Amino acid sequence: MAKCKCKATPCPEGVPGWIVTYGDMMSLLLCFFILLAAFSELKRDEEYTVVAHSVMMAFGFTQGSGGAIPTDQASMQTVVTMLSNAASAHDPKFAISQSDVEGVQGKHTTVKTVREGLVFTIGGSSTFDRESAVLKDSVKDELRSIAKLIDGRNNRIFIRGHTDTKRLSPSAPWKNLYELGFARAEAVMLFLTDEVGMRPELFRVESCGDNEPINARARSNEASQVNRRVEIILSESVVEDFNPDSDFTDPSNARGG
């Protein structure tokens, strides 16, 4: 039998380049199908919303925008991170804060992200006295800390006043609970503008009266304290979207009215 005289061509050392690329593509495809399978297990709309919101936040997406626009201001995601870390500093579950940013002072200030933007709730055991809109020193200290975190931005800031569910006494200086809630919100706004020096055109003052209580079943004066509060909402919309000449640089625009 004749022997084969051909010699086998020696194979190059190492793995061919196309194998590495193919392996990466298969890994990404596998991860994609795993995500599809995981999403299919979300039976309730709110569960899907939480997941979608987390993915958007991870990629730096904020509601109402189509992508990152270069700007001199810090991104909303940066502010969310700073405030979340600041709020966690007062959580009893955390012995040591993991944030290098100076935290918001006070045991009762909370920060959370909602559809409207970022909400600071100024409330607690001694925020407002009953039927009073006078700011206490402890509240002023909290407002100064919050102002350091949100000042310098062009976002619209909504200030909402809340009251407890009790009716006003005949001697109260307010006509109704809406007027009292508005007076509390206005007191916060005036402090931030007159005392702290923030721009007045940023603020919108609102009153919810007793329609959004934290403790709806509160009956005693101590339990009702949490409902006597003010919320500061840093929205994702900017002042220029609603007032192109917010600084009144055009002399034809009158301030009066």
Listed by start position, the domains of the chain span 18-53, 73-241
CA angle 197, 108, 98 (to 5 degrees): 85
Q: Are 150 and 115 in contact (CB under 8 A)?
A: no
Q: What is the DSSP letter of 252?
A: T
What is the pTM assigned to this prediction?
A: 0.54
How confident is the model at residue 91, as a pLDDT?
46
pLDDT (tens digit per residue) in 191-224: 999 999 999 999 999 999 999 888 887 777 777 7
**Helical spans, DSSP H, in 108-168:** 137-150
CA-wise closest residue to 159 among 131, 128, 115, 190: 190
How confident is the model at residue 90, as a pLDDT?
44
How confident is the model at residue 121, as a pLDDT?
80
CA-wise closest residue to 133 among 108, 169, 161: 161
Q: Are 99 and 88 in contact (CB under 8 A)?
A: yes
Q: What's the rounded Cα separation, in Å, for the pair 13 and 236?
A: 57
Question: Which regions of the chain are under pLDDT 70?
Answer: 1-12, 41-53, 55-117, 123-126, 244-257
**What is the full DSSP assignment across 26-87?**
HHHHHHHHHHHHHHHT--SHHHHHHHHHHHHHHTT--TT-SS----SSPPHHHHHHHHHHHH
CA-wise closest residue to 60 among 30, 39, 81: 81
How confident is the model at residue 180, as a pLDDT?
94
How confident is the model at residue 97, as a pLDDT?
42
The CATH number of the structural domain formed by 73-241 is 3.30.1330.60
Strands (E), the chain: 110-114, 117-122, 155-162, 203-209, 230-238
How confident is the model at residue 221, as a pLDDT?
73
Q: Are 225 and 125 in contact (CB under 8 A)?
A: yes
CA-wise closest residue to 184 among 212, 213, 205: 205
